[in-house]
Amino acid sequence: MTTQSSSIIRVLLADDHVVVRAGIRQFLEQTTDIQVVAEASNGKEACDLLEKIRPDVAILDIQMPLMSGIEVTRWIRTNRLPIGVLVLTAYDDEPYVQAVLQAGSNGYVLKTADPQDIIESVRDVFHGKSVLDTVLAQKLFAKLSGKTETSLIESLTDRELQTLTLTAKGFTNKAIGVQLGISDRTVQNHLASIFQKLNAESRTEAVMRAVSLGLISTNISDIS
Protein backbone atom coordinates (compact mmCIF):
# COMPACT_ATOMS: atom_id res chain seq x y z
CA MET A 1 0.00 0.00 0.00
CA THR A 2 2.94 2.25 -0.77
CA THR A 3 4.67 3.71 -3.77
CA GLN A 4 8.03 4.08 -2.07
CA SER A 5 10.94 2.06 -3.42
CA SER A 6 12.75 1.69 -0.09
CA SER A 7 13.23 -1.86 1.15
CA ILE A 8 12.59 -0.78 4.74
CA ILE A 9 8.94 -0.96 5.80
CA ARG A 10 8.23 2.05 8.02
CA VAL A 11 5.59 1.22 10.63
CA LEU A 12 3.46 3.21 13.04
CA LEU A 13 2.32 1.17 16.04
CA ALA A 14 -0.84 2.31 17.87
CA ASP A 15 -1.97 0.58 21.07
CA ASP A 16 -2.94 2.04 24.42
CA HIS A 17 -0.97 -0.60 26.36
CA VAL A 18 2.72 0.28 26.71
CA VAL A 19 3.79 -3.28 27.44
CA VAL A 20 1.97 -4.59 24.37
CA ARG A 21 3.57 -1.97 22.14
CA ALA A 22 7.00 -2.80 23.52
CA GLY A 23 6.52 -6.51 22.87
CA ILE A 24 5.30 -6.02 19.30
CA ARG A 25 8.05 -3.53 18.55
CA GLN A 26 10.69 -5.91 19.85
CA PHE A 27 9.88 -8.78 17.51
CA LEU A 28 9.12 -6.51 14.54
CA GLU A 29 12.52 -4.85 14.79
CA GLN A 30 14.34 -8.17 14.97
CA THR A 31 13.77 -8.25 11.22
CA THR A 32 16.00 -6.43 8.75
CA ASP A 33 13.19 -4.90 6.69
CA ILE A 34 10.76 -3.49 9.29
CA GLN A 35 11.30 -0.35 11.37
CA VAL A 36 8.85 1.11 13.90
CA VAL A 37 9.17 4.85 13.27
CA ALA A 38 6.43 6.02 15.64
CA GLU A 39 4.17 4.86 18.48
CA ALA A 40 0.79 6.16 19.58
CA SER A 41 -1.20 5.47 22.74
CA ASN A 42 -4.57 6.65 21.41
CA GLY A 43 -6.39 7.09 18.12
CA LYS A 44 -6.08 10.87 17.94
CA GLU A 45 -2.33 10.72 18.47
CA ALA A 46 -2.14 8.04 15.79
CA CYS A 47 -3.90 10.29 13.25
CA ASP A 48 -1.60 13.22 14.05
CA LEU A 49 1.49 11.06 13.60
CA LEU A 50 0.17 9.39 10.45
CA GLU A 51 -0.39 12.76 8.82
CA LYS A 52 3.03 14.02 9.85
CA ILE A 53 5.22 10.96 9.28
CA ARG A 54 3.34 9.08 6.51
CA PRO A 55 4.59 5.56 7.36
CA ASP A 56 4.12 2.64 4.99
CA VAL A 57 1.97 0.56 7.35
CA ALA A 58 -0.15 1.44 10.39
CA ILE A 59 -0.66 -1.32 12.96
CA LEU A 60 -3.75 -0.44 14.96
CA ASP A 61 -5.54 -1.89 17.96
CA ILE A 62 -9.34 -1.64 17.85
CA GLN A 63 -10.10 -0.31 21.33
CA MET A 64 -8.13 2.87 21.97
CA PRO A 65 -8.94 6.14 23.77
CA LEU A 66 -10.24 9.17 21.82
CA MET A 67 -10.54 7.28 18.51
CA SER A 68 -10.89 3.55 17.90
CA GLY A 69 -8.80 1.65 15.38
CA ILE A 70 -11.87 1.49 13.16
CA GLU A 71 -12.23 5.28 13.26
CA VAL A 72 -8.54 5.76 12.54
CA THR A 73 -8.79 3.39 9.57
CA ARG A 74 -11.78 5.31 8.23
CA TRP A 75 -9.87 8.59 8.72
CA ILE A 76 -6.90 7.22 6.73
CA ARG A 77 -9.14 6.22 3.83
CA THR A 78 -11.18 9.45 3.91
CA ASN A 79 -7.97 11.47 3.68
CA ARG A 80 -6.61 9.16 0.96
CA LEU A 81 -3.31 8.55 2.72
CA PRO A 82 -1.19 5.91 0.91
CA ILE A 83 -0.82 3.85 4.08
CA GLY A 84 -1.50 0.14 4.52
CA VAL A 85 -3.61 -0.71 7.57
CA LEU A 86 -3.20 -3.85 9.67
CA VAL A 87 -5.53 -4.21 12.63
CA LEU A 88 -3.87 -6.24 15.40
CA THR A 89 -6.29 -6.97 18.21
CA ALA A 90 -7.52 -9.43 20.79
CA TYR A 91 -11.10 -9.20 19.53
CA ASP A 92 -12.28 -12.06 17.33
CA ASP A 93 -15.96 -11.06 17.23
CA GLU A 94 -17.45 -11.14 13.72
CA PRO A 95 -19.06 -7.65 13.99
CA TYR A 96 -15.62 -6.15 14.69
CA VAL A 97 -14.15 -7.95 11.69
CA GLN A 98 -16.95 -6.68 9.44
CA ALA A 99 -16.61 -3.11 10.74
CA VAL A 100 -12.83 -3.12 10.22
CA LEU A 101 -13.09 -4.43 6.66
CA GLN A 102 -15.83 -1.97 5.77
CA ALA A 103 -13.68 0.88 7.14
CA GLY A 104 -10.97 -0.06 4.64
CA SER A 105 -8.39 -2.08 6.55
CA ASN A 106 -6.03 -4.29 4.56
CA GLY A 107 -5.77 -6.90 7.25
CA TYR A 108 -7.08 -8.23 10.55
CA VAL A 109 -4.84 -10.40 12.75
CA LEU A 110 -5.22 -11.55 16.35
CA LYS A 111 -2.59 -10.72 18.96
CA THR A 112 -2.48 -14.44 19.77
CA ALA A 113 -0.98 -15.12 16.34
CA ASP A 114 2.61 -16.31 16.07
CA PRO A 115 5.03 -13.35 15.89
CA GLN A 116 6.35 -14.60 12.55
CA ASP A 117 2.79 -14.61 11.15
CA ILE A 118 2.35 -11.00 12.29
CA ILE A 119 5.64 -10.06 10.64
CA GLU A 120 4.53 -11.69 7.38
CA SER A 121 1.20 -9.89 7.64
CA VAL A 122 2.99 -6.54 7.83
CA ARG A 123 4.99 -7.44 4.74
CA ASP A 124 1.88 -8.58 2.87
CA VAL A 125 0.00 -5.36 3.68
CA PHE A 126 3.03 -3.34 2.57
CA HIS A 127 2.95 -5.14 -0.77
CA GLY A 128 -0.76 -4.46 -1.26
CA LYS A 129 -2.09 -7.87 -0.27
CA SER A 130 -5.08 -8.62 1.95
CA VAL A 131 -4.57 -10.44 5.24
CA LEU A 132 -7.03 -12.21 7.50
CA ASP A 133 -6.42 -14.50 10.46
CA THR A 134 -7.26 -18.09 9.48
CA VAL A 135 -9.70 -18.59 12.36
CA LEU A 136 -11.50 -15.37 11.50
CA ALA A 137 -11.67 -16.34 7.82
CA GLN A 138 -13.44 -19.55 8.77
CA LYS A 139 -15.93 -17.62 10.90
CA LEU A 140 -16.68 -15.22 8.05
CA PHE A 141 -17.22 -18.09 5.67
CA ALA A 142 -19.79 -19.58 8.04
CA LYS A 143 -21.79 -16.35 7.76
CA LEU A 144 -22.01 -16.32 3.97
CA SER A 145 -25.80 -16.18 3.63
CA GLY A 146 -26.20 -19.90 4.01
CA LYS A 147 -24.29 -20.54 0.79
CA THR A 148 -22.17 -23.68 0.60
CA GLU A 149 -18.54 -23.73 -0.46
CA THR A 150 -19.44 -25.78 -3.52
CA SER A 151 -22.13 -23.35 -4.68
CA LEU A 152 -19.76 -20.39 -4.32
CA ILE A 153 -17.00 -22.10 -6.26
CA GLU A 154 -19.38 -23.07 -9.05
CA SER A 155 -21.01 -19.64 -9.21
CA LEU A 156 -17.85 -17.72 -10.07
CA THR A 157 -16.85 -17.64 -13.73
CA ASP A 158 -13.27 -18.10 -14.94
CA ARG A 159 -13.11 -14.39 -15.82
CA GLU A 160 -14.34 -13.42 -12.36
CA LEU A 161 -11.66 -15.64 -10.79
CA GLN A 162 -9.04 -13.96 -12.96
CA THR A 163 -10.36 -10.55 -11.88
CA LEU A 164 -10.23 -11.61 -8.23
CA THR A 165 -6.67 -12.87 -8.60
CA LEU A 166 -5.46 -9.56 -10.00
CA THR A 167 -7.46 -7.67 -7.36
CA ALA A 168 -5.68 -9.67 -4.66
CA LYS A 169 -2.36 -8.52 -6.12
CA GLY A 170 -3.40 -4.89 -5.71
CA PHE A 171 -4.14 -4.12 -9.39
CA THR A 172 -6.44 -1.19 -10.11
CA ASN A 173 -9.51 -1.63 -12.32
CA LYS A 174 -7.65 -0.06 -15.23
CA ALA A 175 -4.65 -2.34 -14.76
CA ILE A 176 -6.92 -5.38 -14.53
CA GLY A 177 -8.57 -4.34 -17.78
CA VAL A 178 -5.19 -4.08 -19.50
CA GLN A 179 -4.10 -7.48 -18.22
CA LEU A 180 -7.32 -9.20 -19.31
CA GLY A 181 -7.95 -7.18 -22.48
CA ILE A 182 -11.30 -5.83 -21.31
CA SER A 183 -12.71 -2.37 -20.57
CA ASP A 184 -12.78 -0.66 -17.17
CA ARG A 185 -16.58 -0.92 -17.20
CA THR A 186 -16.41 -4.67 -17.76
CA VAL A 187 -14.01 -4.98 -14.83
CA GLN A 188 -16.47 -3.01 -12.68
CA ASN A 189 -19.27 -5.35 -13.77
CA HIS A 190 -17.18 -8.40 -12.87
CA LEU A 191 -16.41 -6.95 -9.43
CA ALA A 192 -20.08 -6.13 -8.82
CA SER A 193 -20.99 -9.72 -9.66
CA ILE A 194 -18.20 -11.03 -7.41
CA PHE A 195 -19.35 -8.86 -4.50
CA GLN A 196 -22.88 -10.16 -4.86
CA LYS A 197 -21.87 -13.83 -5.10
CA LEU A 198 -19.46 -13.66 -2.16
CA ASN A 199 -21.71 -11.37 -0.12
CA ALA A 200 -18.85 -8.86 0.12
CA GLU A 201 -18.98 -5.09 0.42
CA SER A 202 -15.42 -4.24 -0.59
CA ARG A 203 -12.51 -5.48 -2.67
CA THR A 204 -10.59 -6.46 0.47
CA GLU A 205 -13.50 -8.43 1.89
CA ALA A 206 -14.08 -10.23 -1.43
CA VAL A 207 -10.40 -11.18 -1.68
CA MET A 208 -10.27 -12.40 1.92
CA ARG A 209 -13.34 -14.57 1.42
CA ALA A 210 -12.03 -15.97 -1.85
CA VAL A 211 -8.70 -16.83 -0.23
CA SER A 212 -10.43 -18.47 2.75
CA LEU A 213 -12.43 -20.62 0.32
CA GLY A 214 -9.35 -21.63 -1.58
CA LEU A 215 -10.66 -19.97 -4.75
CA ILE A 216 -7.50 -17.92 -5.18
CA SER A 217 -4.11 -17.51 -3.55
CA THR A 218 -2.38 -14.22 -2.79
CA ASN A 219 0.88 -15.81 -3.88
CA ILE A 220 -0.07 -17.35 -7.22
CA SER A 221 1.90 -16.50 -10.34
CA ASP A 222 0.73 -13.95 -12.85
CA ILE A 223 -2.16 -14.86 -15.09
CA SER A 224 -1.22 -15.22 -18.73
- What pTM value is reported for the model? 0.64
* Dihedral over alpha carbons 14, 99, 200, 217 (to 10 degrees): 30
**pLDDT tens series, the chain, 224 aa:** 544 445 899 999 999 999 999 999 999 999 999 999 999 999 999 999 999 999 999 999 999 999 999 999 999 999 999 999 999 999 887 778 878 888 999 999 999 889 999 999 999 999 998 888 776 666 665 555 445 555 555 578 889 889 988 988 888 999 999 999 999 889 999 998 888 888 778 888 888 877 777 777 655 334 33
Contacts of 224 by beta carbon, 8 Å cutoff, 6+ apart: none
Q: What is the DSSP string of 91-148?
A: ---HHHHHHHHHHT-SEEEETTS-HHHHHHHHHHHHTT--EE-HHHHHHHHHTSTT--
Q: Which domains does the chain possess?
A: 9-140 (3.40.50.2300), 146-212 (1.10.10.10)
